[in-house]
Amino acid sequence: MIKIQSVSKIYPNGVRALDAVSLSISDGEFVSIIGKSGSGKSTLMNIIGCLDKPTNGDYEIDGVHVQELNVSGRAKLRNRMIGFIFQGFNLSAKMTAYENVELPLVFRGIPAAQRRERVYSALERVGLAARAQHLPGQLSGGQQQRVAIARAIAARPPIILADEPTGSLDKASGNACIELLHALNNEGHTLILITHDFDYTYGAHRVFRLDDGHLEEISRLPIRQSG
């Protein structure tokens, strides 16, 4: 589903954030990427998530070569394929939990009645249907991250891309967040989890380390057989 071949990213200031990175990820896989601060994790996430383009190399997702698309083509592909979860939650402070989860569905042009059904089903999935009308400021950090997870899955994208989702959470909320991501992977979502905490790579089918823009596989577990 995801095929990254010899991808490099050189920022305009000359920083080589990724150096000839290759990585293929199959449907339903759980891949974890660890690395120190500045190793290129977010740069790789932005490329996988079609938010940015590689300087060199080929990135193919669902059979589409991303570097051949313009900005709006990348946005469409992103909306269809990927749900994002960020360290800082990235919720809109002035919008309720409901409205935050609904926003990507509005962008996708989904009719109002269907949006309502999907928003509630996503909020129920993360155990927060009762908090639908709360603003982010009226929720705990762990609850805000669960709203962000609901937003990521509301449009039912095949891939969940999480960049340090536990970075702003205490250990208990962090563990709950990771367990929820594991459950979503078990339900069929491909999961890419970026973290600097090796503990959170537990359960991943494959673990990679990024070091100064170089990607190296450090462990591999058998992929669950389906059926």
By CB under 6 A, name the binding residues for ligand ATP: 11, 13, 15, 17, 35, 37-43, 196
Distances (CA, A) of 57 to 3, 95, 101, 194: 11, 39, 34, 21
Residue nearest to Mg ion according to CB distances in the complex: 42
3-class DSSP assignment, residue 215: strand
Establish if 145 lies at the interface with Mg ion (CB under 5 A).
no
Nearer to ligand ATP, 13 or 72 (CB): 13
Residues 37-96 interacting with Mg ion (rule: CB under 5 A): 41-42
Nearer to ligand ATP, 15 or 106 (CB): 15
DSSP letter assigned to residue 109: T
Nearer to ligand ATP, 19 or 58 (CB): 19
* Min separation Cβ 132 and Mg ion, Å: 30
* Min separation Cβ 58 and ligand ATP, Å: 20
The terminus-to-terminus CA distance of the chain in angstroms comes to 20
- Indicate which of ligand ATP, Mg ion, none lies near residue 165 (CB less than 5 to 8 Å, by partner kind): none
Nearer to ligand ATP, 4 or 153 (CB): 4
Which residues, including other chains, have CB under 8 Å from residue 165's CB and lie 6 or more apart? 85, 86, 87, 145, 148, 149, 177, 178, 181, 193, 195
Hey, which residues does 215 pair with through a beta bridge? 210
* Min separation Cβ 163 and ligand ATP, Å: 7
3-class DSSP assignment, residue 162: strand
Q: Taking a C-beta distance cutoff of 8 angstroms, is the pair 159, 2 a contact?
A: yes
List of residues contacting Mg ion (CB under 5 A): 41-42
